[in-house]
Structure 1
């Protein structure tokens, strides 16, 4: 049996509730026929389908009913067993039982693969990737989504490909890449809208509310209201659920918050979270954080503190805190500063800086994974497109002509862009303006007034002038040892006075140094990228090239090529 439960993860982000809709099985593609149902008894189909109807008032009743069937799973044939596992997994993910769902995903995947059930094998992987993502095991989730990318152009898995795209948009959203997330949503509506509408699928109309939220984050007011109203109009054609009503309230709360109507935002956040807790016995961290910000804006410090403490009380907080927004800890700093509790303020300052480093590392790794997945999908699409073009000579010539024109246009555009970046970079180096490394105090952070601090900053500057940061042995530990201080204190000084991390500070020094050296030292330009990297303390050419491009917008080889052209 090839099937996909017709439900949509409306409460994306950290939410664990999947809205319940009317149909159980959605057959995808021309390859699925009545043969897919062979081996599945009518009585089991009826029993499974009832879990997606409205006969159960609570999720506990639903899971209890599924567990009763699962308890006697050995009495069913293999195909039926796989079906039971997949329905169980669906609801376990819906209720936040991720560890149990992950175990059952492995069981169903192995059973389906061993018995040649192709669609169920892929569906198990999709559920597993989703469960890993909701369980904050992002690396494992990315690996599975990379494998799912291989199926992007297979019509049998078109629906799962769409859901996978939505998951990728979610990952972009949680690291603040709202424009990238929005591009995915717009693409889904444009290219897959008709497919989803024919299925009478809520995935379609939920994209409009998502786009309203994303435009709101980007501060584009007209589009925020346009897609919110479009969502309201569209859902009239679909069965109404309480989830839709409360997600609309959450959207309106976010809009009110961005418009600084904090009292209205608080009321709507309260209504949403009361429903959320009643349904899931949990709290939604992003809305609680925004609600706390609104309370602080209104001077309601104790209310803000009580809300933040709700997040810490969540069972999932131990997993979530590694990826939670640093704003969470920043709010504690603001609260304890207003309350005059300096010891707690200092404690949360340390947590804030640690969270900032962890979050930035997570954001960078997430982007790497997302770009890998995007690159893989583009390669697959291009490969399939190339095969299609070969079938008709006319289409082949058209495609080749288009590719050549695009390539020429791309090369010219790239050259122009690189020249512009190079000229700007050379101008900065001629004016001897550092890229990022400045020891001027940052007005955004807590000011540390201490003669020891000034002395330490002076010592750091001396180390910079001595070329200490151009050595491979330069680590936070070794630098602290060199300066006869501890790593925590040194890290805090750099964070407060540079508004950056130690690693970013060192990298900026190295890039500034090598830009000027390459400009004046013709012999150095003949070195390999690896040799240049080792010259300034990098252990690999890849890490040097990555940071050089991140800092300048150009690769080292492109920068050297432009310098040589300039003569």
Structure 2
């Protein structure tokens, strides 16, 4: 655990005083030196003067320390939005402070700087230190002895740490963990000692915005929009009048408006409407107006505003205008690391402008730094590349990026599913906690409470039963689909089949091999039964009578033997992708084909092809 270093600002001559010095002084004062009342008066005056000097120096040192801390904190507030190096310089100095509130403030700013620099590991480490230290101060402080303002600072430090951890996990797209920190932040904020204080109000608004961000990440755009509109309307109420000139509140309000702009762009992406694009543009403009009155000004506000205006132009399908705006990024960047955003936007614009070379060029530039990519953007770029290579008839590359698109999509979906579960569990726990609180406060309404809880529990079980039943039905459907082409397993039983029918069935097996019907995707035992106008039971009986393997194994062997022969003799066929070869013999899935090939031949198709070429 991190604890602040103590530094004592005491003059050297005071620190040099020890027990012997004091005894010598008292002996001199009260034993050897007192020969008359006048001597006693003189010595006592000197003694009091000596004590006064000591206290004066001590008070002066403490006062100077407080003044120095105040100056450095002002420097932090000034530099943290426009000069990271200067901010970290003053952070290092303030870490020597012995003031608990100063230390908490310093760690909060340090975590913010590393987060802004996308150094998420460092930011998380500092935020955890801030959280541990705030908890330590809250646990070890006596509520009666510690001043209210100091306790507010402890709570503010804890909320700041949780807020920073939320943003780190959100930016890493770990929505499950981000939501856990959001739940903790809400709980701590409700414990804040002063519900009218500006920090409580700011964090109350911040939690709503963060909740909307998670909803947005889970593709619940309408719910996110409603939360943000509600928060925006609340920010204009009388309760928030005390924050009208608060610089933090202004930043928060600008952030809220930008988030609303983002939501409307997402809504337009799902269902294109001019009103959505216009709303996005309006809220971006309103946010930029607020950003222009920041004191001190935020040096990145102009380029970030231009990022958003470019997105609006892209939504309007004005891609040439969007490229013109992107070309100006270098003139307004002020050191902001904009290239990653530029590459992504250029790739999207050039793809829509049918410029394949530029699209592939900027997509590859974007992917070179893909550890910083958001999953959603990664999916977009993979999808663009698969389409571009498909248009260029480079099927192997097209298939590669198409598979990467699906892999990333499934990964993102799994992450979101986990977060959905977390939402549900947390809401249910909150409902239970609410019922307990009502029970304690309103004992007279116990009967109504039990009925309400019973209804809630019954509803929960009904919903759970419904979901389980639905899931079972889905599994049954899936099993039916999977077993559609699988022969029905029956007990071995002797049948009296007409010899002519048996001969007809055996001849059809030969025709299947000769006509290559077994290569068709729809080929199965049902296929032969329909062709001969008989049932699958007879077909299966005749087949098992003359073969020592199942019908499915027989068909797979025919397919693999066919493809092996064709690979050996047909050079053009060898140039096909694995997916194309699989489809040639009736497989829709390259992975299933690869497994079947390896099982029968002993090596994968790729290894077999290399062996032929060598």
Q: Normalized against structure 1, the TM-score is what? A: 0.57
Equivalents in 2 of 1:288, 1:270: separation in Å? 11
Candidates 171, 187, 198, aligned match of 1:150: 187
Find the counterpart in structure 2 of residue 232 from structure 1. Answer: 285
- What is the DSSP-based 3-state SS (H/G/I as helix, E as strand, rest coil) of the residue aligned with 1:362? helix
Find the counterpart in structure 1 of residue 368 from structure 2. Answer: 313
Find the counterpart in structure 2 of residue 347 from structure 1. Answer: 397
Contact in 1 for aligned 2:225/2:260 (Cα 8 Å): yes
Given the superposition, is the C-alpha separation of residues 458 and 350 from structure 1 closer, same or farther in structure 2, using an over 3 Å criterion? farther
- TM-superposed deviation, 1:199: 2.0
- TM-superposed deviation, 1:460: 9.6
Equivalents in 1 of 2:517, 2:109: separation in Å? 60
Contact in 2 for aligned 1:491/1:502 (Cα 8 Å): no
1:29-428 alignment runs, 5 A limit: 41-53=66-78, 56=79, 59=82, 61-70=83-92, 73-116=95-138, 117-151=154-188, 153-154=190-191, 157=200, 159-174=202-217, 176-194=219-237, 198-200=242-244, 201=249, 202-219=251-268, 220-226=273-279, 228-229=281-282, 232-233=285-286, 236=289, 239=293, 241=298, 243-271=300-328, 273-274=329-330, 278-285=334-341, 288-314=343-369, 317-318=370-371, 320=373, 324-339=377-392, 342=394, 346-373=396-423, 375-377=425-427, 379-380=429-430, 383-384=433-434, 387=437
Equivalents in 2 of 1:167, 1:501: separation in Å? 42
Instruction: Point out the structure with max Rg over C-alpha.
Output: 2
Per-residue displacement from partner, 1:9-64 (whole Å, max 9, x unpaired)? xxxxxxxxxxxxxxxxxxxxxxxxxxxxx9993432331222322xx5984x4433
Given the superposition, is the C-alpha separation of residues 491 and 373 from structure 1 closer, same or farther in structure 2, using an over 3 Å criterion? farther
- What is the DSSP-based 3-state SS (H/G/I as helix, E as strand, rest coil) of the residue aligned with 1:299? coil
Equivalents in 2 of 1:235, 1:394: separation in Å? 53
Q: Which moved more, 1:127-136 or 1:376-385?
A: 376-385
- TM-superposed deviation, 1:292: 1.8
Contact in 2 for aligned 1:329/1:348 (Cα 8 Å): no
Q: Which moved more, 1:257-266 or 1:110-119?
A: 110-119
- TM-superposed deviation, 1:395: 10
- TM-superposed deviation, 1:401: 11
Given the superposition, is the C-alpha separation of residues 337 and 354 from structure 1 closer, same or farther in structure 2, using an over 3 Å criterion? closer
Contact in 1 for aligned 2:343/2:362 (Cα 8 Å): yes
Given the superposition, is the C-alpha separation of residues 255 and 135 from structure 1 closer, same or farther in structure 2, using an over 3 Å criterion? closer
- What is the DSSP-based 3-state SS (H/G/I as helix, E as strand, rest coil) of the residue aligned with 1:108? helix
- What is the DSSP-based 3-state SS (H/G/I as helix, E as strand, rest coil) of the residue aligned with 2:339? coil
- What is the DSSP-based 3-state SS (H/G/I as helix, E as strand, rest coil) of the residue aligned with 2:317? coil
Contact in 2 for aligned 1:215/1:224 (Cα 8 Å): yes
Per-residue displacement from partner, 1:482-516 (whole Å, max 9, x unpaired)? x979xx9579979xx9999999xxxxxxxxxxxxx
Equivalents in 2 of 1:499, 1:187: separation in Å? 49
- TM-superposed deviation, 1:402: 10
Contact in 2 for aligned 1:325/1:359 (Cα 8 Å): no
- TM-superposed deviation, 1:101: 1.2
- TM-superposed deviation, 1:113: 2.1
Equivalents in 2 of 1:189, 1:501: separation in Å? 51
Contact in 1 for aligned 2:258/2:287 (Cα 8 Å): no
Find the counterpart in structure 2 of residue 511 from structure 1. Answer: none
- TM-superposed deviation, 1:90: 1.4
Contact in 2 for aligned 1:153/1:381 (Cα 8 Å): no
Given the superposition, is the C-alpha separation of residues 236 and 44 from structure 1 closer, same or farther in structure 2, using an over 3 Å criterion? same
Given the superposition, is the C-alpha separation of residues 248 and 235 from structure 1 closer, same or farther in structure 2, using an over 3 Å criterion? closer
Equivalents in 2 of 1:213, 1:346: separation in Å? 36
Equivalents in 2 of 1:277, 1:309: separation in Å? 22
- TM-superposed deviation, 1:175: 5.1
Stretches of structure 1 lacking an aligned partner (at least 5 in a row): 1-37, 439-450, 467-479, 504-567
Contact in 1 for aligned 2:174/2:415 (Cα 8 Å): no
- What is the DSSP-based 3-state SS (H/G/I as helix, E as strand, rest coil) of the residue aligned with 1:279? coil
Q: Normalized against structure 2, the TM-score is what? A: 0.53
Given the superposition, is the C-alpha separation of residues 373 and 40 from structure 1 closer, same or farther in structure 2, using an over 3 Å criterion? farther
Given the superposition, is the C-alpha separation of residues 175 and 50 from structure 1 closer, same or farther in structure 2, using an over 3 Å criterion? same
Per-residue displacement from partner, 1:265-314 (whole Å, max 9, x unpaired)? 2223444x5478543324344x6434322212222222222322331233
Find the counterpart in structure 2 of residue 32 from structure 1. Answer: none
- TM-superposed deviation, 1:231: 5.5
Contact in 1 for aligned 2:347/2:358 (Cα 8 Å): yes
Find the counterpart in structure 1 of residue 26 from structure 2. Answer: none
Given the superposition, is the C-alpha separation of residues 182 and 404 from structure 1 closer, same or farther in structure 2, using an over 3 Å criterion? farther
- TM-superposed deviation, 1:328: 0.8
Given the superposition, is the C-alpha separation of residues 77 and 51 from structure 1 closer, same or farther in structure 2, using an over 3 Å criterion? closer
- TM-superposed deviation, 1:372: 1.8
Given the superposition, is the C-alpha separation of residues 64 and 377 from structure 1 closer, same or farther in structure 2, using an over 3 Å criterion? farther
Stretches of structure 2 lacking an aligned partner (at least 5 in a row): 1-62, 139-153, 194-199, 486-514, 527-535, 538-555, 564-576, 593-614
Equivalents in 2 of 1:187, 1:499: separation in Å? 49
RMSD over aligned Cα atoms: 5.3
Given the superposition, is the C-alpha separation of residues 158 and 456 from structure 1 closer, same or farther in structure 2, using an over 3 Å criterion? farther
Equivalents in 2 of 1:405, 1:309: separation in Å? 56
Equivalents in 1 of 2:159, 2:429: separation in Å? 20
